[in-house]
Amino acid sequence: MRRAAIMLLGGLMAGTVATVAPAVAAAQDTHLVVIVGVGGDEEHRDRFHDWAVTLVDTASERFGLPADRVHYLGERVERDPDRIEARSSMDDIQATLRDIAATAAPSDTLVIVLIGHGSSDESGPKFNVPGRDPTAFDFGVLLEGFPSQRIVFVNAATASGEFVAALSGPRRTIVTATKTGRERNDSLFGGYFVAAFGGDGDSDLDKDGRVSVLEAYTYARRQVAQAYENDGLLLTEHAMLDDNGDGEGSHEPDPEEADGAIARTLFLAPRPGEDAARSVAAAGSPELQSLYAERIALEERIDMLRAARSGLDPADYDRQLETLMIDLARASRAIRELEDKTP
C-alpha cells in the first residue's frame, strides 16, 4: 500500500511540474457556481438569496475572482439581475456547466454550491429547482465534463446526504448538509458554510490567513451543533464530507486517517504568489515569472505530499518533505533577491 502510494504521488508530482512550470498561464483558476433552488415561501427565498449573495460577493470582492468565473443561478432572475445571470432550471444548469467545461483548463478547480431544498424518491436524491428537479445522477453526468479538474460539490440543501455516494470519485470533494435523505428539516449548514469564507477568525483554524474547504466545513458543522444546543433541540442534521473517493462521507473528517486530506488543500482564494506571478508576467519579467511559477508548483507538491501522508512510509515522507521545503526556501530567496534588484 505504501509503495503504491509513493509511486502514485511521484506521478502526480511530475504531472504538476509539467503542467505548472514555467508558464504562469498554467496557474490554476477557480470557477464558482452557486445554484439557489425553489424557496417555497418568502422567508426561505430571502434566506437562500442572502446566503448566495454572501458567497458570490466574498468570492468577487474579497478573493478577487473575475466576474466571468462567478456564476449565480437563482429561482427568479428579476430578484437581483446584477448578480443572478440565469434561472436555476435544469436547462440553465446544464448550459452553465457545459460552458465552463468548454473553457476550463485541465488544472482548474470547479466549486458548485447548491442552496435550497432537497428530496428523494425512487429516481434517487434530487435538488428542487424551477421545473424538473435534477437528480444526483444528472449532476454526475454533468461532472463528467470535468475529467481532470478538481471538483468541490457542496449540497447545502435538506435531504442531501445521498449525493455523497452518487458523486464520490477521484479529484472530487463532496459536502452535504445531511447524512441521509431522511433528514428533511430546515438545514442551517449552508449559512454557516458560506459565512466561514467571509473572514470570521474562528473559521481560519490554522491561522494562515485563508479558509480551506475543510475549515469551512468544520466551522459550519460546529456552528450547527451549537445552534441546536442553544435552542435545546436534538440535532437533526449531520453534515458529511468525502474527498477520498470511497463513497462514504465522514461527519468529523480526520485528514490523517481518511477524509479531509484533500479538502484542507482547497481554497476559494488564490494561492499566495499566483496574483503576483501574473502581475510580473504582465510587467514583462520572464525570470521572476519563472521563479513565481516554480514556487507555486513547489507549494502544490507540498500540499499533495501532506494529503498522501497516511499512505507513506514515515521516513520517506520526512525525506520528501525536507527536500521540498529546502527547494521552496531557495525559490523564495531567489525571488526576494531578484525583486530587490528590480526597479
Q: What is the model's pLDDT at position 1?
A: 37
So what's the architecture of 29-265 in CATH? Answer: 3-Layer(aba) Sandwich (3.40)
Measured in degrees and rounded to the nearest 5, phi and psi for residue 115 equal -125, 125
Is the pLDDT score of 201 beyond 80? Answer: no
DSSP tag of 135: B
Which residues does residue 150 pair with via DSSP β-bridges, in sequence order? Answer: 109
The overall average pLDDT reported for the chain is 85
Distance between CA atoms of residues 259 and 129, nearest Å: 30
Q: What is the model's pLDDT at position 7?
A: 38
DSSP tag of 69: G
Q: Amino acid identity, residue 101?
A: A
End-to-end CA distance of the chain: 52
Q: What is the model's pLDDT at position 78?
A: 97
Number of residues assigned to the chain: 343
Residue with cell 510587467: 283
Least confident of 6-10, 224-228, 265-269, 272-276: 6-10
Q: Which of 171, 29, 16, 157 is nearest to 100 (CA)?
A: 29
Computed on alpha carbons and rounded to an integer, the radius of gyration of the chain in Å comes to 21
HSE at residue 95, side-chain half, CA atoms within 13 A, is 10
Distance between CA atoms of residues 139 and 64, nearest Å: 27
Q: Which of 291, 274, 270, 278 is nearest to 339 (CA)?
A: 291
Q: Give the pLDDT band of residue 67 (cuts 50, 70, 90).
A: very high
CB 65 within 8 A of CB 111: no
pLDDT digits (tens, 9 = 90+) for 176-185: 999 998 888 8
Reduced to 3 DSSP states, what percent helix, strand and coil does the chain have, rounded to the nearest 5? Answer: 50, 15, 35
Distance between CA atoms of residues 60 and 58, nearest Å: 5
pLDDT digits (tens, 9 = 90+) for 220-267: 999 999 999 999 999 999 999 999 999 999 999 998 778 998 898 888
DSSP tag of 61: I
